[in-house]
Amino acid sequence: MHTTPAPFPRIALVTGASGGIGRAVALRLAADGLAVAVHYAGNRAAAESTVADITAAGGRALAVGGDVADDAAMAAVFDTVEQEVGGLDVVVHTAGVMVLGPLADYPLDDFDRIVRTNLRGTFVVTQQAARRVRPGGAIVTFSTTVTRTAFPSYGPYVATKAAVEGMTMILARELRGRDITVNAVAPGPTTTPLFLEGKDEATLRGLAQAAPLERLGRPEDIAETVAFLAGPGRWVNGQTLFANGGLA
């Protein structure tokens, strides 16, 4: 006889969860007892691997795919999560791209790509989240510590993330009365493939020494911050939390 699985008490959607920070967030939220929708853009196999790790540990997860900047695709993702798991309480938008280069030589095609994924993608995902997250829920977007450190070659990337911060702060105020928190997390240098690409050992050593804790961040460090915002951090709202080991 077919039986419908009992609904989980809380349900999360994590975009960009096939690897890096997104995967760490998905695993951390699952460890806290949330059912997790593991979103991927192109790497379904990696997302399914994350799902397998969660289910092997006794959790519940499903993989959902789609372009974060495509409103129809993401509406379908949100529909799938609601239909398959029963609702949405937490949306964590980690998906993004980073293309570095000096402004004077930066290709417009790269600029358009980074704006589409990082800014439009955040808009599309948070718009759906604002419509669907249940009372008591949380929306978490992603910025970067480079909005403060202003490293050369990060101009277009930082421009998209500064815009994300502004949009996040305003959404927190627009959701007044809904009992939904909206915050941004701004990681410092973190050992993900996206961050490590193109950096030599000397550069990585220098970045590790820049923070008072004298190491690079780990995806699990960032996941802890997200778990706080998604769970007990109910009095933190409309903020950007810098998770960077003290990097000024």
In the chain the domains, ranked by start, together with CATH numbers, are 11-189+219-243 (3.40.50.720)
**Residue 53 tokens, joined:** 């790790």
pLDDT of residue 192: 85
Q: Give the pLDDT mean for 181-201.
A: 88
157 catalytic per annotation: yes
Instruction: Evaluate if residue 2 carries a pLDDT over 80.
Output: no
pLDDT of residue 8: 65
Q: Binning pLDDT at 50, 70 and 90, where does residue 175 land?
A: very high
As a whole-number percent, the residues of the chain with pLDDT over 90 amount to 86
Q: Give the pLDDT mean for 10-31.
A: 96
d(CA 26, CA 54): 8
Average pLDDT, rounded, for the chain: 94
Q: Give the pLDDT mean for 48-52.
A: 97
Least confident of 2-16, 37-51, 84-98, 163-177: 2-16
Predicted TM-score (pTM) of this structure: 0.94
Q: Give the pLDDT mean for 152-163.
A: 97
d(CA 30, CA 24): 10
Instruction: Evaluate if residue 3 carries a pLDDT over 90.
Output: no
Catalytic position from the list 40, 106, 154, 157: 157
d(CA 188, CA 64): 28
Q: Give the pLDDT mean for 207-214.
A: 90
